[in-house]
Structure 1
Amino acid sequence: MAIPYVDDAVNAIGIISIALLFKYMFRTIYVAYFGPLSKIPGPKLSALSAIPLLLRGAKGKRWHWYQRELRPKYGKIVRIGPDMILVSDKDIIRQIVVKEDWPKGEFYKIFRVAPHLHTLFSTTDKAFHKERRRLLAPAFSIKYIRSLEPYMSMCIRNLNDKIDSLIQENSPTDGAVIDLYRMMVNTTLDSIGETAFGGTFNMVKEGNHPLPKEVVVELSRRIRRNGFPILKPFIKSNRYLYDFSSELIRRRRQEAGTRRKDILQIILDAGEGEAALPDIDIYEQIIEFLIGGSDTTSFSTFFVLIMLLNHPSKIHKLIEELDNEFVDLPRNELPKHEKLKKLPYLNAVINETMRLWPISLDGGSGRSPTEDKIINGVLFPKGTLVLTNFYALQHSAEYWGNDVDEFVPERWFKDDIPYDAFYPFSAGSRNCIGQNFALLEMRLIISSLLRRFRFEDIPGQDYSDIVQFVTPSLAQNEYKVRAWNRS
């Protein structure tokens, strides 16, 4: 015998479920085909769902989809999700990033350990960003970064000694096969450890510190947990990074006498009294600087060397510049940055590499307007996530000429350089706070290696097989070259 009120409840739940389903379907169809973004070209499925984007992002191939498929097919303005747009127009990007300085989109919340815990990178609040950047700015001033050069130099000497030992172990005549990519990653990790956290991770010498791997695991965990809330109960917490950072902070606060004036100490000293950063904020900034100070610099430095190895006339020209400038300096000694930063061809090589292989392969900065905006006839509704495609600007023949895809450092000596289509460190208030740090380290590594060693590329490897989740990296996580000591 049926119980009437149970049947009624079941029927009511069924009716409500069907109503909600129809409401969702109606809204999805409206947004896709009749909403404010409906006239923007792009894949039909992307207008209905963000799933195509998420699937490619999970594989680290979102950048390939943007740059190799969508932009060539659909042009400068492409719809990549129900409320997401990829913009590759120079004037629109400048309006968004520089002139109007739109805040970052809500998307960046997925990088936080908790929704309410903002960091310099992940915050969408312009007031918070301004204050946090003010507190941390002393750690990245030109004067302070200059004081870190001896720490960086020590790590680079370890790199040189490692390569030299491998050559001697193998054969000074035949040279040694070295994993150039891993060596760049390990060197920049050691450097950020030495300059920011009070000691090297010994990655060049030993290559087995757990911290770098744990950072990658933690970032992946956050993206999965915050991007897919339904998976949250199944994603285990990992206390390694928190315990590591907490112990680092505890030891530093207990040190007696003169404390090492590194980036960690500046973070600890930021603010006073109630304005001082809580330990959890310091923990988050430590992790953020570890990623920003190692992965990005190693990627750019590696590609500088690879571009040079694949263009013999360019590497010879740079070596000649270095040899002429430091003719009296023994090759096993590192040049001083004060001279390196003034070398025109070295800087041209770095700029050209960052133009061809920017850190922002997958779109650059994601911004959202706080109200409906119309720029150059394009409507950007409030809350839309707009990806400013710096990669596309830097690979546009319209802005750089028909040789846009060629490695031509000499272009940086021309009078008509399109600097408004060049964003190696982003721009506006959200530009990279660590750009002076990165450039100093890159110049030191490149100059020391080219003065001391001769390198030869090994055929059959693909340096364009890149994945990008947060920062870009080689899919194979290695790239080997042969090295000799210069005679």
Structure 2
Amino acid sequence: METPYVDNAVKALGIISIALFLKYMFQTIYVAYFGPLSKIPGPKLSALSTIPLLFRGTNGKRWYWYQRELRPKYGKIIRIGPDIVLVNDKDIIKQIIVKEDWPKGDFYKIYRAAPHLQTLFSTTDKAFHKQRRRLLAPAFSIKYIQSLEPYVAKCIRNLNDKIDSLIQESSSTDGAVIDLYRMLINTTLDSIGETAFGGSFNMIGKGHHPLPKEVFVELSKRMLRNGFPIFKPFVKSNQYLYDFSSELIKRRRQEVGVRRKDILQIILDAGEGEAALADIDIYEQIIEFLVGGSDTTSYSTFFALLMLLTHPSKLHKLIEELDNEFVDLPRNELPKHEKLKNLPYLNAVINETLRLWPISLDGGSGRSPTEDKVVNGVLFPKGTLILTNYYALHHSAEYWGKDVNEFVPERWFNDDIPRDAFYPFSAGSRNCIGQNFAWFEMRLIISSLLRRFRFEDIPGQNYSDIVHIVTPSLAQDEYKVRAWNRP
């Protein structure tokens, strides 16, 4: 039999629970329908909860929801969560990213292995970012990237030789059928292996290496652990990655004599004394570079080639430019980047591809004001996560004209191009540190392939079905074309 004391305690606990629940409901409803963001249009349920947003993120189709459903219905400023706003307005984005340089939102902490392990990408601390970027910047300077050309060229030669061998093995006059999408992914992975991990992964030759796959598995685990703390005790870190990277760093530190000049070495040498990076920081940083420097570059390179194959007149112009520039260079030799970087039509093709198929599909850069801010008459309360919708800017007829959805490299020869509506690598202090490397690699791959081979699209394949979880990718994970050697 319960005593009056116990009975009263149970009643009190029940009253407190009900009060807390009512308080939570009141705050939720107030924030949703009466708070500072209540005047911003968006789905009614999104104002109450982030569940619709999280649900769509699990299958990689959040970007489709943003671009195909929300943007046409709600316009340039859309509320997609209780404290999350998607912005498609050029002037507001420029104010936030470039002029005022708001710090990244806490959302980026989801990519960390532990709360204290900040990286160039995941940090929200502007002072930390400035210091870390200063340490790593020499590895991505134009001059240093030029010194990496032999490593990247080696991987591209392997790609060319692989395609050539498939052509030789094919007895059909219809050419060899090759999976161009997968081959490009393997090439950029090998390139990152050569320049940041001490050697190629040999993805082109073998088609498999455990490291790249394990990296993306680990990132998924981090997002699960940090996004849903209830799962944290059950989702362990990837021991393979740690062991692999620790051994790699250990071997490199023990080397004597002439050392390999690559990105890993310059990171190892970065800073002095207390400013030097610890092994765990180096491990986190090179893992980040693998993700940022492989799938993204292969994705952009693939779409550049695909747009050319589906627009024969544009393809002819670029081949003509390459043939005229390298008339005395044998087709099986790679052009030097020093000459490629100045080819106007090649650069226009890449720019137009980055406009149509940007790697940021579902919110380019998440920023949060440290105090209440009014931008172009819109109030963004302290802590609001602002997602800058670069994809929307790139596909806005208001900024680019009626042919906005067409592949027109020639538009980049116009003086009035709306460059403040073009953010392929973000902008401001948090722009992509690897953009010079990406341009370098894309120019080399595209030019070498088009000079040596003739490609033809195979109709009927779906390249518009894209999933975007960490980086964008084709849902079918392949795209095949026909290939012949050029005479």
Indicate whether the TM-score tops 0.5: yes
Structure 1 position 5, deviation (Å): 3.0
CA distance in 1, matches of 2:395, 2:116: 37
Root-mean-square deviation (CA, aligned residues, Å) is 0.9
Whether 1:342 and 2:342 are equivalent positions in the alignment is yes
- One-letter identity of the residue aligned with 2:364: G
DSSP 3-state at the match of 2:484: strand
> Residues of 2 paired with 1:271 and 1:324: CA distance?
45
Q: Residue 419 of structure 2 aligns with which residue?
A: 419
Deviation at 1:442, TM superposition (A): 0.2
| Pairing 1:277–2:277 present | yes
Once residues 112 and 235 of structure 2 are traced to their aligned partners in structure 1, the CA distance between those partners, rounded to angstroms, is 15
Structure 2 counterpart SS, 1:19: helix
Secondary structure of the 2:41 match is coil
CA offsets 1:220-264 (integer angstroms, 9 cap, x no match): 000011001112122233211111110110110111211112111
Structure 1: 5+ residue stretches without partners: none
TM-superposed CA distance for 1:470, in Å, is: 1.4
Amino acid at match of 1:236: K
User: SS state of the match for residue 17, structure 1?
Assistant: helix
1:405 maps to a residue whose letter is N
Report the AA paired with residue 392 of structure 1.
A
Instruction: Quote how far apart the aligned CAs of 1:11 are.
Output: 2.1
- State the 1:439 CA deviation: 0.4
Whole-angstrom distance in 2 between the partners of 1:165 and 1:8 = 83
Fraction of identical pairs, as percent = 85
The Cα of 1:456 is off from its aligned counterpart by 1.0
SS in 1 for 2:258: coil
Report matched runs for 1:212-223 at 5 Å: 212-223=212-223
Q: How far is the alpha carbon of 1:415 from its aligned partner? A: 1.6
Map residues 190-269 of structure 1 onto 2, 5 A cutoff.
190-269=190-269
Q: Given the alignment of the two structures, is residue 27 of structure 1 paired with residue 37 of structure 2, yes or no?
A: no
Aligned-partner Cα distance in 2 for 1:222–1:449: 37
Map residues 11-410 of structure 1 onto 2, 5 A cutoff.
11-171=11-171, 173-410=173-410
Inter-partner Cα distance in structure 2 for 1:236 and 1:53: 25
Q: In 1, Cα distance between the equivalents of 2:453 and 2:475? A: 27
The one-character-per-residue Cα deviations of 1:171-217 (angstroms, maximum 9, x if unpaired) are: 26331111111101000000011011210000001011001110110
Letter paired with 2:400: W
Deviations 1:2-30 (A, max 9, x none): 23333233222222221111111111000
Q: d(CA) in 2 for partners of 1:193 and 1:129?
A: 25
**Runs of 4+ residues deviating >4 angstroms:** none
- The number of residue pairs the alignment matches comes to 487
1:172 and 1:262, CA in 2 relative to 1: closer, same or farther beyond 3 A?
A: farther
Q: Deviations over 1:413-452 (max 9, x none)?
A: 1121000000111100000101110101000000000011
Query: Which letter does structure 2 place at the counterpart of 1:456?
Result: E
1:279 deviates by 1.1
TM-score, structure 1 length as denominator? Answer: 0.99
User: 1: CA distance between counterparts of 2:49 and 2:254?
Assistant: 52
Q: Alignment partner of 2:379: what SS?
A: strand
Please give the alpha-carbon distance, in whole angstroms, between the structure 1 residues aligned to 2:175 and 2:485.
Answer: 8
Matches within 5 A, 1:466-485: 466-485=466-485
Q: Which runs of 5+ in 2 are unaligned?
A: none
CA distance in 2, matches of 1:423, 1:204: 31
Give the match's secondary structure for 1:204. Answer: helix
Q: TM-score, normalised by structure 2?
A: 0.99
SS in 1 for 2:206: coil
Assess if the C-alpha contact under 8 Å between 1:195 and 1:262 holds in 2.
yes
SS, match of residue 78 in structure 1: strand
AA at the equivalent of 2:184: M
Pairing of 1:421-460 with structure 2 (within 5 A): 421-460=421-460
Do the aligned partners of 1:172 and 1:485 also contact (CA within 8 Å) in 2? no
2: distance between equivalents of 1:438 and 1:262? 16
- Tell me if 1:6 matches 2:6: yes
Please give the secondary structure, in 1, of the residue aligned with 2:242: helix
Deviation at 1:410, TM superposition (A): 0.6
Q: Could you tell me which amino acid in structure 2 is paired with residue 400 of structure 1?
A: W
Q: Is the 8 A contact 1:172 1:484 kept in 2?
A: no
> For the residues of structure 1 that align with 2:436 and 2:38, how far apart are their CA atoms?
42
Q: Output the CA distance in 2 between the equivalents of 1:237 and 1:80.
A: 31
Deviations 1:320-377 (A, max 9, x none): 1111111111000000001101111000000000000001011100000111111111
Is the Cα–Cα contact under 8 Å of residues 246 and 283 in structure 1 kept in the other structure? yes
Distance in 2 (CA, whole Å) between partners of 1:63 and 1:441 is: 26
